[in-house]
Amino acid sequence: MSRRTHRALSPWLLLLPGLAVVAAFSLYPFLSTVHKAFTDARTLTPGRWVGLENFRALLEDEQFWVALRNSGLYVLLVVPFTVLLPLLLALLVQKRLPGVAFFRSAFYTPVVASVVVAALIWVWMLDDRGLVNGILGVLGAGPVHFLGDAWLLLLSAMALTVWKGLGYYMVIYLAALGNVPRELHEAAAVDGAGALRRFVSVTVPAVRSTMVLVGALSSVAAFKVFSEVYLMAGPTGGPAGQDTTLVMLVQRTGTGLNGRVGYASAISLVVFVITLLLMLLVLRAGREEDA
């Protein structure tokens, strides 16, 4: 083997194990999903080419529009909280106060907890005879049917998502805040800027790129939400399926012995395209801000 061929092949050989894993577990399933989206494949039958039929059916499927609305709302309502609250939390635990390490760990605990366990605890708390309604009862209010009303269920699931993500994004912000020069704050303070002014004019511009990153990450995660809603609203997606999200719809239509794999693949493709657009939108917004 010539030295030139050797040099050309070596990187590929080194990459091969990694590429094989990516090809088998990411690329192949992705391409297979794209292919199946244009077929009437079922769980146990390969299906035949049906062109855009699945997408036509999607447009007429009431459940699809409900799911699209819920996933969209999830992004609109969850992302602002996951961008701002962790930043405030990071500012709080950044201070060198006695016992602050405990709070840092406590805020991070939900991140390492299993989503199933966390959701179960929330379900117990929000039950008609749970902790929250118990407290409301003492105050002479309630009971509030958190788990029986479609909107309250969706909002509760959103709250769980925000609560569970706080610690994770807080750590990202802590790293970014460490890079904000102290002199900037001191200079602003000397110029008479108060805490709020320093937050808006110094902290936010300094961590803007991190906010864009957190925005991109959390909006993609929010759009693809499954576990929180599935665990709190049940497999049918809340009363009359009104809390179904897009990924839940993929799971419901595409699994089981009669699963409509082709149709579920078409929904997956829609989720993929919207997620991609969402990412591009957030990144572009970040770039425009920087410019």
Partner 1 sequence: MPIRRSRPVAVPLLAAALLLTACGPGDDGGGGSSADGKPEGRITFQTWNLRANFKDYFDGVVRDFEQKYPDVKVKWVDQPAEHYAEKLSADAGGGTLPDVVNVSPDLSHPLARAGLLMNLDKEKAAARFKDEYTPEAWQGNVLPGLSGAYAFPWYLNTGPLFYNKALFRKAGLDPEKPPRTYDELFAAAGRLAGAPGGRAATLASAPAIEDFGRYGVRLMNDDATKFTYNEPKGVELLGRYKELYDRGGLDAQALTNTPEKAGQKFLEQKVAMNPGSAHDLETFRKNAPGLYRDLGITDAPNNTGKPNMYVMGLAVSEKSRHKAAAVAFAHFVTGRERQEEFAHKVAVFPSTRGSLQDPYWTKDDGTDAGRVRVASARMLKGAVNYTPVVMSDEMKTVLRNEVAKALQGKKSPRRALDDAAAQSNALLERG
Q: Which residues bind partner 1 (CB under 8 A)?
A: 12, 19, 22-24, 27-28, 31-32, 35, 40-46, 127-129, 145, 147-148, 153, 233-236, 238-241, 252-253, 255-260
If the CB atoms of residues 7 and 197 are measured against partner 1, the closer one turns out to be 7
What is the closest distance, in whole angstroms, from the C-beta atom of residue 48 to partner 1 in the complex?
Answer: 12
Closest-CA residue to 70 (of 223, 220, 218):
223
What is the closest distance, in whole angstroms, from the C-beta atom of residue 15 to partner 1 in the complex?
Answer: 9
Closest-CA residue to 242 (of 159, 119, 155, 112):
155
What is the closest distance, in whole angstroms, from the C-beta atom of residue 16 to partner 1 in the complex?
Answer: 10
What is the closest distance, in whole angstroms, from the C-beta atom of residue 256 to partner 1 in the complex?
Answer: 5
If the CB atoms of residues 22 and 281 are measured against partner 1, the closer one turns out to be 22
If the CB atoms of residues 126 and 278 are measured against partner 1, the closer one turns out to be 126
If the CB atoms of residues 32 and 109 are measured against partner 1, the closer one turns out to be 32
- Rounded Cα distance between 285 and 28, Å, is 32
If the CB atoms of residues 3 and 12 are measured against partner 1, the closer one turns out to be 12
- Rounded Cα distance between 45 and 133, Å, is 49
> Under a CB-based contact definition with an 8 Å cutoff, are residues 227 and 157 in contact?
no
If the CB atoms of residues 139 and 257 are measured against partner 1, the closer one turns out to be 257
- Rounded Cα distance between 120 and 281, Å, is 35
Cα distances from 199 to residues 98, 195, 206, 210, in angstroms, run: 23, 6, 10, 15
Which H or E element spans position 200?
none
What is the closest distance, in whole angstroms, from the C-beta atom of residue 12 to partner 1 in the complex?
Answer: 8
- For residue 39, which phi and psi values (nearest 5 degrees)? -125, 170
What is the closest distance, in whole angstroms, from the C-beta atom of residue 19 to partner 1 in the complex?
Answer: 6
User: Which letter, b or e, does each residue of 58-72 get, where b requires 16 or more Cβ atoms within 10 Å of its Cβ?
Assistant: beebebbebbbebbb
